[in-house]
């Protein structure tokens, strides 16, 4: 196996652009996914009528179908009934749709971990439901669910590789294109692996650190 | 207008072809699942060993499959091996290799987690009773660990089935690819066809994965102690 290093230097700018695009889409998607997930799990926590059933259906559909099909449906299917979305927007929506359900699961586990005594004490000192949520449950639940969120972030970042199916020029698709033009498969794939490692290795380390940091919000620490 | 697309689904052999495509998907998933369960259990048991070298080696193997996306693995094996080692692998074989390796890595983590989560006195008392190592695994550890393994294993199987959607990207003619072929043939006459075909494939995946994940949740609740 030989590598043409000069070629790698030449295509470096393409990978830089692709890396940023991957990061950008993933960040936006993950941020929305966390918001959607938290809203869903709060709805389910309070068992809001009708809404919680809708959320349940959403969670099952999102968790039991592959992202690639969700994206194909958004990108190729929806325009035929009059809804046209750009590739990047499809990617973000797809990632949010998929990620929201996973984040909801993580946050639900976090909320269930908040002890009963905490909630009862909050009620006893006269907090309203909203205040109870805002000052007692959410802060603790958030710190409990950080490990879950972290694992999901890594999972969703990896899922962005699927975006190559709908013509978004992120890392995987850029690699595919470069391979098609120059036939330098070894070099292109090496850069692809390196690209993901550049994003994911620091993220993994950061999340391990973060997990330890947020522990202070937990009751009893 | 909207109806014209859905009618194509039931025209001629279209539905049959889609279902045959689904069989290809499921065949890859099934073989990979069987291989990864067998390999996963073996590696999982090996990973409970005290040797640091063994632990680090297998941890590295697991992390490689966790950090690098499966699609990238598929591309790497699919393009690198034929180009450098003069070995022709069909896309389906590549898929089987990648899915088995990935599945085995994840399964081994589940198995290892289940074994080391068993209370220590189980091992100690079986040693005190004079069981040999193989008897200890056969009669004490494996039966207890199995209960803890099965729900996460079913979850992993659902994930593997969902991930088979990626096979279309390396050119395996499975359910999505067949869907695309049907779309290409009918696109001019029935513009809404892609909505229906992709919607139908979406539905197919859901129909397969939903019962599995329900089942695993049920077992999890039933066996929770």
For domain B2-222, the question of CATH label 1.10.1420.10 is answered with no
Res B6 pLDDT > 70: yes
Q: Say how far residue A53 (Cα) sits from the centre of its chain.
A: 23
Give ipTM to 2 decimals: 0.85
DSSP designation for A84: -
Rounded to whole angstroms, what are the CA distances from A50 to A53, A56, B73, B152?
A: 5, 10, 42, 30
What's the pLDDT score for residue A212? 80
Choose the closest CB to A80 out of B165, B195, B201.
B195
Where residue A156 falls among pLDDT bands split at 50, 70, 90?
very high
Q: In terms of CATH architecture, what is A12-219?
A: Orthogonal Bundle (1.10)
What's the pLDDT score for residue A28? 95
> Would you call A201 an interface residue with chain B, using a CB distance cutoff of 8 Å?
yes
Choose the closest CB to B166 out of A68, A70, A77.
A68
Q: Terminal CA-to-CA distance of chain B, rounded, Å?
A: 55
Reduced to 3 states (helix: H, G, I; strand: E, B; else coil), residue A109 is helix
pLDDT tens string A205-221:
898 888 887 766 555 54
Average of per-residue pLDDT across A85-113 = 91
Does the beta-carbon distance from B209 to A65 stay under 8 Å? Answer: yes
Q: Which residue of chain B is at minimal alpha-carbon distance from A69?
A: B202
Q: Whole-prediction pTM value? A: 0.86
Does the beta-carbon distance from B75 to A172 stay under 8 Å? Answer: yes
- Interface A-B, measured as beta-carbon pairs within 8 A, has a size of 116
* Residue A31: CB atoms within 10 Å: 13
What's the pLDDT score for residue B195? 87
Res B14 pLDDT > 90: no
What's the pLDDT score for residue A221? 47
Chain B residues whose C-beta sits inside 8 Å of any chain A C-beta: 2, 5, 66-72, 75-76, 79-80, 83-84, 158, 162-166, 168-169, 176, 183, 191-199, 201-202, 205-206, 209-210, 213
- Give the C-alpha separation, B175 to B68, whole Å: 25
Q: Which residue of chain A is at minimal alpha-carbon distance from B2?
A: A81
What's the pLDDT score for residue B190? 80
CA dihedral A66, A68, A70, A74 (to 10 degrees): 180
Provide the total of helices (H) and of strands (E) in chain B, helices listed first. 10, 0
Res B1 pLDDT > 60: no
Reduced to 3 states (helix: H, G, I; strand: E, B; else coil), residue B120 is helix
- Give the C-alpha separation, A97 to A36, whole Å: 8
């Amino acid at each position: 196996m030989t590598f043409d290093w000069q070629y790698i230097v030449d295509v470096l700018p393409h990978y830089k652009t692709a890396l940023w695009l991957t990061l950008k889409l993933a960040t936006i998607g993950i941020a929305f996914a966390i918001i959607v997930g938290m809203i869903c799990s709060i709805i389910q926590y309070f068992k809001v009528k009708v809404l919680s059933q809708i959320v349940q259906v959403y969670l099952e559909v999102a968790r039991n179908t592959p992202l690639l099909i969700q994206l194909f449906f958004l990108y190729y299917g929806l325009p035929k009934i009059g809804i046209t979305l750009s590739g990047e927007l499809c990617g973000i929506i797809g990632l949010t749709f998929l990620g929201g359900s996973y984040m909801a699961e993580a946050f639900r586990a976090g909320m269930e971990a908040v002890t009963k005594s905490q909630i009862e004490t909050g009620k006893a000192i006269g907090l309203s439901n909203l205040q109870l949520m805002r000052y007692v449950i959410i802060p603790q639940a958030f710190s409990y669910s950080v490990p879950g969120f972290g694992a999901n972030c890594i999972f969703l970042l990896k899922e962005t590789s699927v975006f190559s199916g709908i013509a978004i020029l992120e890392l995987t698709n850029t690699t595919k294109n470069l391979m098609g033009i120059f036939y330098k498969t070894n070099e292109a794939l090496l850069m692809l692996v390196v690209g993901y490692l550049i994003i994911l290795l620091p993220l993994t380390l950061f999340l391990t650190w973060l997990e330890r940091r947020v522990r202070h919000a937990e009751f009893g620490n | 207008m909207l109806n014209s697309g859905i009618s194509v689904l039931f025209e001629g052999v279209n539905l049959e072809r889609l279902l045959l495509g689904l069989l290809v998907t499921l065949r890859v998933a099934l073989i990979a699942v069987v291989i990864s369960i067998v390999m996963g259990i073996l590696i999982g048991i090996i990973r409970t060993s005290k040797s640091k070298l063994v632990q680090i080696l297998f941890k590295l193997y697991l992390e490689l499959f966790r950090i690098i996306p499966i699609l990238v693995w598929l591309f790497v094996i699919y393009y690198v091996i034929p180009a450098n080692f003069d070995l022709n692998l069909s896309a389906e074989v590549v898929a089987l290799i990648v899915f088995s390796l990935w599945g085995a890595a994840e399964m081994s983590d589940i198995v290892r987690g289940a074994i080391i989560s068993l209370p220590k006195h189980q091992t100690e008392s079986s040693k005190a009773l004079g069981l040999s190592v193989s008897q200890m695994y056969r009669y004490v550890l494996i039966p207890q660990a199995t209960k803890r393994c099965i729900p996460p294993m079913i979850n992993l199987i659902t994930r593997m089935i969902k991930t088979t959607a990626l096979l279309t990207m390396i050119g395996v003619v499975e359910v999505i690819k067949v869907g695309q072929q049907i779309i290409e043939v009918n696109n001019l006459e029935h513009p809404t066809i892609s909505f229906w075909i992709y919607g139908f494939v979406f539905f197919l995946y859901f129909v397969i994965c939903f019962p599995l994940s329900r089942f695993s949740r049920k077992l999890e609740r039933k066996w929770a102690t």
